[in-house]
């Protein structure tokens, strides 16, 4: 943490889904004990109180329709409702839409809206607002593949919205999630002003969610209070949510330990986690980050020699010991990654090409590629970049890679960037050899995975196919999978895709990146759906 004022997708760090064996036994025992309790003994949610959330992340504004990332999603999902929400089993649940129907051909989604829903200014939420919002997201959101097939939204009556698509779109239900599809009031945001620069993104926000905006001080805090006319009866339980921006991690954790702060999402550094684990007043959970699905990886510029030779890329992969990285450099909290989909993804497979550390095999591959060691043992020189301000996941791993590649005759210069824009420019302009990076799956491969591997997405923009990776079969597999509704068939296409990508190594996957939410033990119903802290807090309560 401690990396405020930088885009969210690189600020996150990774921690393992695995616990120590004794800890797992204890948790299992606790779960069994809880299950054995009679229903009446379970703690009931209480109304009232203020939840103070601490974060290092700085949102530019509060409108998730035009901005991706966690910094915006946390407040946006409190202020704006979405058509659907998701549970912790990847299943869609009613939210602003009380029911929905996806057509058999997968080309239309009918949303049946609640009739008692109103915006924070008291005006009813209608299908016209849903239509406006969906098309606004399509036009303005950075994830262009997310709603790419959407052609229009029909509104046959005030409480029915029909999303029409040019082809079957398997990600459409997930795209209706709170962080991805906030429903905006057309009468406020449809005034012709550029939505990305709309003044109501930061002041006098009129939302549709469980909390309404009281105060927004950029870079300092966001204050939201209970919306008494929220469409879900009896919710939210909290009177108020305050999000305090604390750039310094030590100060943030001190606030949590003192009780000034009740919840800190996305805790990331192993030393911080060890510290919090030993505090009897703090609870930690690694549930709630499955949807984001972050992977820490080593990107390879496949357009540069000698990195255009797959044997060279494989040699680099064989030189890296992921177990050492995750255990020694990341304190045992991170889990090794071997493929482009996080382990928690429904589409992840075990049948991948893997690269257990083998320096002899790495050297042999370089010999085979004609890159013989010179008199000084050097074969060639390259550079490695990394995201600034994220030492545990980035700088430390880059330094480790430098040391490992030296063992096989590759001289590596570790290049520091002054700030995020400087690093992003290097990747966007493809001015790099190797670079550490952390990239999110965003729930469905169509949303967060395709962008990295499609040859049509080689663009001068960070978090696209900056590796210049080209494979016509991969393009076909992804484009086909993106238009199939049957999950079993989609899995087959993604399985082949994962096998090819791990064999051709445009990226060396280092570790899956689950995170932790730290709370005071008086916080009930900690958000642990697949979107976790980037979902509404309407069910959170203080004991």
Annotated domain spans of the chain: 8-15+45-289+516-542, 294-512
Find residue 518's DSSP bridge partners.
Answer: 264, 284
> Which CATH code, of 3.40.50.10860, 3.10.105.10, 2.40.50.140, 3.40.920.10, is assigned to 294-512?
3.10.105.10
Query: Which tens digit of pLDDT belongs to each residue from 476-504?
Result: 999 999 999 999 999 999 999 999 999 99
Helices (H) and strands (E) in the chain, counts: 15, 21
Token pair for residue 473? Answer: 């079969």
Predicted local distance difference test score (pLDDT) of residue 515:
87
> Which CATH code, of 3.40.50.150, 3.40.190.10, 3.40.50.720, 3.30.60.50, is assigned to 8-15+45-289+516-542?
3.40.190.10
Task: Give 514's pLDDT tier (boundaries 50, 70, 90).
Answer: low
Token pair for residue 469? Answer: 């990776």
Task: Give the DSSP H/E element, type plus range, for residue 25.
Answer: helix 21-36
Check if 8-15+45-289+516-542 and 294-512 are the same fold: no
**Reading across the β-sheet that carries 410-415, which strands appear in turn?**
335-336, 507-512, 294-300, 434-440, 380-385, 410-415
Mean pLDDT of the region 509-534: 93
Specify which of 1-5, 155-159, 218-222 reaches the highest per-range mean pLDDT.
155-159
> Is the pLDDT score of 150 beyond 70?
yes
What value does the CA radius of gyration of the chain take, rounded to a whole number of Å? 24
Task: Report angle CA 261, 81, 216 to the nearest 5 degrees.
Answer: 45
Prediction pTM value: 0.83
In whole angstroms, give the CA distance from residue 162 to residue 191.
23
């Amino acid at each position: 943490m401690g990396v405020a004022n930088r885009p969210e997708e690189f600020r996150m760090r990774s921690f393992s889904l695995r616990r120590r064996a004794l800890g797992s036994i204890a948790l299992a025992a606790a779960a069994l004990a809880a299950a054995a309790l009679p229903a009446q003994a379970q703690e009931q949610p209480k109304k009232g109180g203020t939840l103070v959330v601490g974060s290092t992340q700085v949102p530019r504004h509060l409108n998730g329709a035009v901005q991706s990332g966690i910094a915006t999603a946390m407040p946006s999902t409190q202020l704006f409702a979405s058509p659907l929400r998701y549970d912790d089993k990847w299943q869609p649940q009613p939210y602003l839409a009380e029911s929905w129907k996806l057509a058999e051909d997968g080309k239309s989604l009918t949303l049946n809206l609640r009739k008692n829903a109103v915006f924070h200014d008291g005006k009813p939420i209608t299908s016209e607002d849903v239509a406006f919002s969906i098309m606004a997201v399509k036009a303005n959101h950075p994830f262009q593949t997310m709603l790419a097939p959407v052609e229009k939204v029909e509104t046959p009556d005030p409480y029915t919205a029909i999303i029409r698509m040019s082809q079957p779109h398997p990600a459409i239900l997930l795209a209706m999630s709170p962080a991805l599809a906030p429903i905006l009031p057309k009468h406020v945001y449809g005034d012709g002003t550029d939505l990305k620069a709309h003044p109501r993104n930061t002041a006098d926000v009129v939302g549709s969610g469980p909390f309404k905006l009281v105060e927004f001080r950029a870079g300092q805090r966001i204050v939201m209070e209970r919306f008494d006319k929220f469409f879900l009866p009896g919710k939210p339980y909290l009177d108020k949510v305050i999000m305090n921006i604390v750039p310094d991690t030590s100060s943030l954790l001190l606030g949590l330990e003192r009780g000034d702060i009740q919840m800190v999402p996305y805790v990331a550094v192993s030393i911080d986690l060890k510290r919090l684990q030993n505090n009897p007043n703090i609870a930690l959970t690694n549930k709630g980050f499955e949807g984001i699905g972050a992977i820490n990886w080593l990107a390879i510029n496949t357009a540069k020699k000698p990195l255009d030779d797959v044997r060279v890329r494989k040699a680099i992969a064989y030189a890296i010991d992921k177990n050492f990285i995750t255990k020694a450099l990341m304190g045992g909290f991170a889990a090794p990654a071997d493929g482009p989909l996080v382990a928690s993804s429904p589409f992840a497979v075990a049948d991948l090409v893997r690269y257990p550390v083998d320096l002899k095999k790495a050297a042999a591959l370089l010999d085979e590629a004609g890159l013989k060691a010179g008199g000084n043992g050097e074969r060639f020189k390259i550079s490695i970049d990394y995201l600034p301000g994220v030492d545990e996941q980035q700088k430390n791993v880059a330094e480790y890679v430098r040391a490992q590649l030296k063992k096989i005759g590759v001289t590596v210069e570790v290049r520091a960037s002054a700030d995020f824009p400087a690093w992003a420019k290097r990747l966007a302009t493809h001015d790099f050899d190797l670079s550490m990076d952390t990239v999110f799956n965003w729930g469905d491969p169509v949303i967060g995975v395709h962008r990295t591997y499609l040859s049509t997405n080689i663009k001068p923009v960070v978090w696209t196919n900056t590796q210049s990776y080209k494979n016509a079969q991969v393009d076909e597999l992804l484009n086909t999978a993106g238009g199939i509704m049957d999950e079993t068939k989609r899995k087959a296409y993604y399985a082949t895709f994962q096998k090819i990508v791990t064999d051709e190594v445009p990226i060396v996957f280092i570790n899956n990146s689950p995170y932790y939410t730290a709370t005071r033990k008086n916080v009930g119903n900690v958000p642990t759906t697949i979107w976790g802290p980037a979902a509404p807090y309407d069910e959170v309560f203080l004991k």
